[in-house]
Chain A
Amino acid sequence: MTAAIEFRDVSRVYGEVHAVDRVSLTVQAGEFFAMLGPSGSGKTTCLRLIAGFETPDTGSVLLNGREVTDEPPYARDVNTVFQDYALFPHMSVLENVAYGPRVRGQRKDDWRRRAQEMLELVQLGNFGERRPSQLSGGQRQRVSLARALINQPRVLLLDEPLGALDLKLREEMQIELKNLQRRLGITFVFVTHDQGEALSMADRVAVFNRGRIEQLDTPRTLYMRPATAFVARFVGSANVVTGELAQRLSGRADPFAVRAENIRLRAPAAAPDADTVSCIGDVADVQYHGAVSRWQVRLESGEVFAAAVADAGNNGDFRIGARVRLEWLRSDAVPLSSAESP
């Protein structure tokens, strides 16, 4: 089956900096695909390469099996929702939404009608005659969605669309976007630096770091089986164990990761359970987060482990400064391919 989007060894270089460094990926039709990473990791540049705002220095970009590397944005069957929404202030909301059909030469009655339909789709049916400056952030976002979708693109690109919204609104929009994608059935490619967002919304996530994809997997796999130290640290909070300590705890010098929530706190004297790995340390800090408490435990060798423990009330035994034993199942230690810190 032809992929909706394909990158073949794509690079984009600015002077000395490899913003995108030989990236290859495929996005399947109908997927909700997320590109996750810290700022400067190359995820936004990849999005712009798909849209056509940038041209790769090497490699090729294919949409639906066809090479589009040199094609300008207006020739691609892709539409973008911008981070700042990019609504045109000198046009009304309706005219904004109708921009695509209008510049493609549709008749006035047609584009007015279709734009009105799209506005109703995003529940802004009565806002057609207003100016973008008169709308709230959430409303502007929906207008820019409508404006992008009216062209019925095969692929919709979203550049950190929820960043400017407050928490409640963000959570609502996450659900709305997911429903919208399911209903329309088109491919969504979504850029974000918020791993929680990526994990909850996407079918597959590509984790970017310094211009390369460290791992491309389903959210569950990324979380449970991070491939590198970077992914382990960036997605969820994991303890990355390397070098001497790794040698001592696992018998091999290869780095591994243990998720904070997989670590249990035990009294130093108590006997360890079967198939577990232990180490001793002093409690450095405790933070109460409602259902879960986050503990920072400093080992003798200096490393600090983070443990996320369900607050069952019995952890008052361990106060700051107390000695404690960290214990985890051997199978919860995930081997990593690279111990480079991000």
Chain B
Amino acid sequence: MRAVSTFLYRRPAVYVLMLLIPPLLWFGTVYLGSLFTLLAQSFYAIDEFTAKVVYQPTLATYEQVVTQPANVDIIMRTLSMAVAVTIACGLIALPIANYMVRYASPRARAFFYVGVMLPMWMSYLVKVYAWRLILAKQGILSWLLDTVGLGAALEALLRLPGVGGPSLSASYLGMFIVFVYMWLPFMILPLAAALEKVPESLLQASADLGARPVQTFRRVTLPLALPGLAAGSVFTFSLTLGDYIIPSVVGAPGYFIGMMVYQQQGTAGNIPLAAAFSVVPIVLIMIYLTLAKRAGAFDAL
């Protein structure tokens, strides 16, 4: 045993290699292998008549994805939801993150941090389901709005195309609310971290020079907190873009990218199409990442 130990001691490279080979082997075959298979599949197409995959490289499937109006609709719909959710999360996260960092006493701040992290660790499905109940006809939200007398307003809202749907729990509005709820912690935490990095002395200087709190916030805090916002937005954007559970459970009839992927590999058995569709979020996320990097997101992570 000692001899082996001495052998490895003298050859640290061998030691590291021995340690890393099993996990790398696993990753290589299970994960990377799968990804390459996926990519490969996207370059095949399905034969319309036999409904079987034709193993010949082609761009036909990609063409299908980016040219067919129905598919473009799906992509646009998912993209706009992702953007809307990101903006909303940013707007909501600002007051709470700012409060946590600037105004809360140390004890309150710890309380807030735990309070923000807790939902992140709760079961994803349970949270989606909870919203389904809340948004249901005769659920809490309806009851609340009825008692306040806004029931009619809700009905009107639901009739709007692109916003509403058959009921709140099957509408774009409902989906939007659930998405915002789910990803809020992912936006708050990086934002709070970035806000903490803004030195108190800068804010004091701003106040000293005559700016009111709102002005200081807009001109000093916000620009400096941008990396945090960018970092958080990476999460909200990519998580919304790729999600298929929430659109299925709380969604309006219109399809989202994730649902397309799930459906195509399931009943339709059209894996190439599913693969091509799943490449779209990857590309979009890559683009978004480069944009976010410019805004300093990677420094804030």
Contacts and interface: CB of A to CB of B under 8 A. Distances in A.
A291 B29 CA distance: 78
A71 B5 CA distance: 11
A164 B2 CA distance: 35
Contacts of A74: 2
A198 B132 CA distance: 76
Interface in A61-116: 70-72, 74-75
B6 interface: yes
Name the residue in B2, B5, B9, B10 with the highest tally of chain A Cβ atoms < 10 Å from its Cβ: B9
Nearest to A55: B10
Contacts of B9: 72
Q: Give the residue among A70, A71, A72, A75 with the most B Cβ atoms within 10 A.
A: A72
A60 to B, nearest CB: 15
Contacts of B5: 72
Contacts of A70: 10
Interface string B1-18: 010011001100000000
B12 to A, nearest CB: 10
In the complex, which range does the number of interface residues on chain A fall in? under 10
Nearest to A70: B10
B247 to A, nearest CB: 51
Nearest to B10: A70
Interface in A154-210: none
Contacts of B10: 55, 70, 72
Looking at chain B, what size class is its interface with the partner chain? Answer: under 10
Contacts of A71: 6
B15 to A, nearest CB: 12
A55 B5 CA distance: 16
Interface string B218-251: 0000000000000000000000000000000000
Nearest to B12: A55
Contacts of A55: 10
A72 B6 CA distance: 6
A54 to B, nearest CB: 12
A41 B113 CA distance: 47
Contacts of A72: 5-6, 9-10
Nearest to B7: A72
A164 to B, nearest CB: 30
Contacts of B2: 74
A114 B10 CA distance: 32
A100 to B, nearest CB: 15
B2 to A, nearest CB: 8
A77 to B, nearest CB: 16
Nearest to A71: B6
A71 B6 CA distance: 8
A185 B6 CA distance: 31
A71 B10 CA distance: 8
A70 B10 CA distance: 7
B127 to A, nearest CB: 40
Nearest to B8: A72
A233 B9 CA distance: 41
A51 to B, nearest CB: 13
Interface string B153-170: 000000000000000000
A39 to B, nearest CB: 26
B168 to A, nearest CB: 56
Nearest to B9: A72
Contacts of A75: 6
Interface in A293-311: none
B39 to A, nearest CB: 39
A124 B105 CA distance: 45
A75 B9 CA distance: 12
Interface in A20-78: 55, 70-72, 74-75
A170 B74 CA distance: 76
A75 B6 CA distance: 9
A74 B9 CA distance: 11
A71 B9 CA distance: 9
Nearest to B6: A72
Nearest to B5: A72
A14 to B, nearest CB: 15
Nearest to A52: B9
Contacts of B6: 71-72, 75
B14 to A, nearest CB: 14
B9 to A, nearest CB: 4
A296 B289 CA distance: 63
A75 B2 CA distance: 10
Interface in A269-296: none
A70 B6 CA distance: 9
A55 B6 CA distance: 13
Interface in B188-226: none
A67 to B, nearest CB: 14
A277 to B, nearest CB: 57
A55 B11 CA distance: 11
Interface in B114-144: none
A72 B7 CA distance: 9
A70 B8 CA distance: 12
Interface string B31-68: 00000000000000000000000000000000000000
A180 B9 CA distance: 33
A26 to B, nearest CB: 25
Nearest to A72: B9
A71 B7 CA distance: 10
A75 B10 CA distance: 13
9 contacts: A55-B10, A70-B10, A71-B6, A72-B5, A72-B6, A72-B9, A72-B10, A74-B2, A75-B6
Interface of A: 55, 70-72, 74-75
Interface of B: 2, 5-6, 9-10
Instruction: State the 3 A-B residue pairs at the shortest beta-carbon distance, nearest first.
Output: A72-B9, A72-B6, A70-B10
Given A55-B10, A70-B10, A75-B6, 6 more contacts: A71-B6, A72-B5, A72-B6, A72-B9, A72-B10, A74-B2
